[in-house]
Structure 1
């Protein structure tokens, strides 16, 4: 007895629903990014009356930019973790169906590893590793 008791049809159903939810979450993230840029532009700019006559992002625009910058790493982590989890569950289930229990266990273990985040910054990890 391996300790595994998987219902492949049930896993397939859950993966399908989860994949749809992940796709919707990705669309919402893209829309949020676009909406933040639009809101920042619509909020106006600051300009000097004494010249040189240049404009910079206003207070609201600057706050929205800081908000986006702060949460970008966490949102990227969620997307990568979700993809890795869904792919790992599919690979482990496929291996299980084909009787490759060791391969299924390996796929499950690989899926549980932290996803790499390729963002600027020397060796920085997502805020998740900072105890949140």
Structure 2
């Protein structure tokens, strides 16, 4: 493969900054999930006034659960795509530095492939939108 002109120090500088941003994004996503669950729990329940007296998730809790369900796959995809891209750029650059341009091209192609996203308990299906 000809025509590559990579500045390894520049790549690693960008990867370092992007890695920090990706960690912040992951931490925010985890916090959001916990906050949504806590908010849904604090929003209260619906109780039947006519026995049997059982409670079900309230309207706000139900809406928050639907929101998390709808966006969970997208958030997981973003996380996996980011990780795959950063790791692929690192691997391709390492191969480039070692003079293994074919391996660098293979690493770049592999990183560009779509990540597989399976949500826990979702059976791997795509959410309906």
Instruction: Give TM class, smaller chain.
Output: over 0.9
State the match for 2:2 in structure 1: 2
- Normalising by the residue count of structure 1, what TM-score does the alignment of the two structures yield? 0.91
Using a 3 Å threshold, how does the CA distance of structure 1 residues 9 and 125 change in structure 2: closer, same or farther?
Answer: farther
Say if 2:88 and 2:111, in contact at 8 Å, map to a contact too: yes
User: 3-state SS of the aligned residue for 1:46?
Assistant: strand
User: Does the 8 Å CA contact 1:74/1:126 hold for their aligned counterparts?
Assistant: no
**Residue aligned with 2:117, SS:** coil
What is the alpha-carbon root mean square deviation over aligned residues?
1.7
Distance 2:60 2:67 in 1: 10
The 2-side partners of 1:59 and 1:26 are apart by 28
Q: How many residues in Structure 1 have an aligned counterpart in Structure 2?
A: 127
Contact 1:48 1:54 in 2 (8 A): yes
> Per-residue displacement from partner, 1:4-42 (whole Å, max 9, x unpaired)?
000000000000000000000000000000000111111
Map 1:11-50 → 2, pairs under 5 A: 11-50=11-50
CA shift, 1:59, in A, is 0.5
Tell me which of 113, 117, 121 is aligned to 2:123. 121
Q: Distance in 1 between matches of 2:51 and 2:29?
A: 38
Answer yes or no: is the 8 Å Cα contact 1:15–1:90 preserved in 2. yes
| Structure 2 residues not aligned, in runs of 5+ | none
The unaligned stretches of length 5 or more in structure 1 are none
TM, length-normalised to structure 2: 0.93
